[in-house]
Amino acid sequence: MGAAQNQQPAVVSASLAELIRLSEQARQLQLRPRQVRARQSGQYVSPLRGRGMEFDESRPYQPGDDVRNMDWRVTARISKPYSKMFREERERPVLIGVDARAPMFFATRGRFKWVQAQRLTALLAWTALQGGDRIGGEIFSEAGFRELRPRRGKGALLHFLKALADQPRAVAARPVSLSEPMRRMWRTAHPGSLVVFVSDFRGFDGPAERQLVRIARHNDLVLIHVYDWLESRLPSEGFYRLGDGERIVELDTDRRQVREEYHRHYQARVERLEQLCRQHRMTWLQCATDQDPLEVLRKVYGRNR
């Protein structure tokens, strides 16, 4: 009985052992999404560009060659049309930005948003390893950020998972803008990379949006929104007391107008992100604190049976 309990997912923070165990679940996934649109369930799927393409050589133009691949420099030099030839990269960097700011250490049901972020990241990292991709990214919080350069092999993956498991609980000393970790990711991401942000996207603003658009121009970009149900709508009429271990907040939800305004504010933030994904070919996923991260990822990355 005790051993079985130890296998249960953590509520506050996932251990390294738990993140390692997710390797078996990851075998149900592959980072080549099915072409589906699941808008009713809060997902938006963009076509994946696939691995990056490296320039190989130029050769004389042949009928049927894509004119967009014309090598105009060589053509101008020798006065004969030449086409650029490309080869698919054998491996692709997979970069995951993980939000460890103070608001991620919260939940009213299920598990902390941070635990969901840990599990989502681990599943994606194991899936990338099984696909032969390089794994890296960054973990950011009020205390600073930790960068993990994309590297191949199981050792790099375990190093990433250990960083996730050892991440200390954040203290909300000062607000951290999302634009800064996104700017760093833009500088790190090699064109053709798969870039994932796992976050509750609190504080998402104009500068952060501009950084995402820059990343999406040359990379496949996935946004995974982790949320607690209380963030989307207030509970029915009543008086509630909520605590995070340091502070107690009293919540009076008697007024219908207050509840509706609260929900509209949340909905506007989510719709802004969804619209951004549609406009710039990003993939949008949502994972609540009481959902199974594997089932969320399977909607897009599940292996075809």
Q: Are residues 120 and 22 in the same domain?
A: yes
Kindly state the average pLDDT of the residues 136-140. 96
Q: Are residues 105 and 75 in the same domain?
A: no
Which tens digit of pLDDT belongs to each residue from 235-286? 776 666 665 555 666 666 666 777 778 788 889 999 999 999 999 999 999 9
5 compared with 137, residue with greater pLDDT: 137
Let me know the angle formed at the C-alpha of 298 by 158 and 39, rounded to the nearest 5 degrees.
Answer: 130
Q: Which two tokens stand for residue 297?
A: 């990822």
Last-in-domain residue among 88, 105, 138: 88
Alpha carbons 103 and 80: distance in angstroms, whole number? 61
Q: Distance from CA of residue 159 to its chain's centroid?
A: 19
Write b or e for each residue in 41-71: b if 16 or more Cβ atoms lie within 10 A of its Cβ, otherwise e.
ebbbbbebeebbbeeeebeebeeebeeeebb
Residue 61 reports pLDDT greater than 60: yes
What's the pTM value of the predicted model, to 2 decimals? 0.78
Kindly state the average pLDDT of the residues 95-112. 94
Sign of the torsion angle spanned by Cα atoms 181, 130, 93, 218:
negative
Q: Which domain holds residue 80?
A: 53-88
| Helix, strand, coil percent values for the chain (each to nearest 5) | 40, 25, 35
Alpha carbons 104 and 116: distance in angstroms, whole number? 9
Q: How many domains does the chain have?
A: 2
Q: Are residues 155 and 71 in the same domain?
A: no
Q: Are residues 80 and 173 in the same domain?
A: no
Kindly state the average pLDDT of the residues 106-111. 92
Q: Are residues 209 and 265 in the same domain?
A: yes
User: Which SS3 state, helix, strand or coil, does residue 77 take?
Assistant: helix
Q: Are residues 109 and 153 in the same domain?
A: yes
Q: Are residues 197 and 144 in the same domain?
A: yes
Average pLDDT, the chain: 84
Alpha carbons 247 and 249: distance in angstroms, whole number? 7
Q: Are residues 148 and 290 in the same domain?
A: yes
Bridge partners (DSSP) of residue 83 are: 59, 70
Alpha carbons 269 and 272: distance in angstroms, whole number? 5
Which tens digit of pLDDT belongs to each residue from 165-186? 999 887 766 778 899 999 999 9
Alpha carbons 265 and 272: distance in angstroms, whole number? 11
Sign of the torsion angle spanned by Cα atoms 26, 23, 191, 54:
negative
Write the CATH number for 6.
Answer: 3.40.50.410
Q: Are residues 61 and 173 in the same domain?
A: no
DSSP notation for 149-179:
EEE-SHHHHHHHHHHHHHPPPP--SS---TH
Q: Are residues 57 and 152 in the same domain?
A: no
Q: Output the pLDDT for position 256.
A: 73
Q: Are residues 188 and 110 in the same domain?
A: yes
The DSSP H or E segment spanning 251 is strand 248-252
Residue 289 reports pLDDT greater than 90: yes
Q: Are residues 273 and 143 in the same domain?
A: yes
Residue with tokens 């929900």, as numbered in its chain: 263
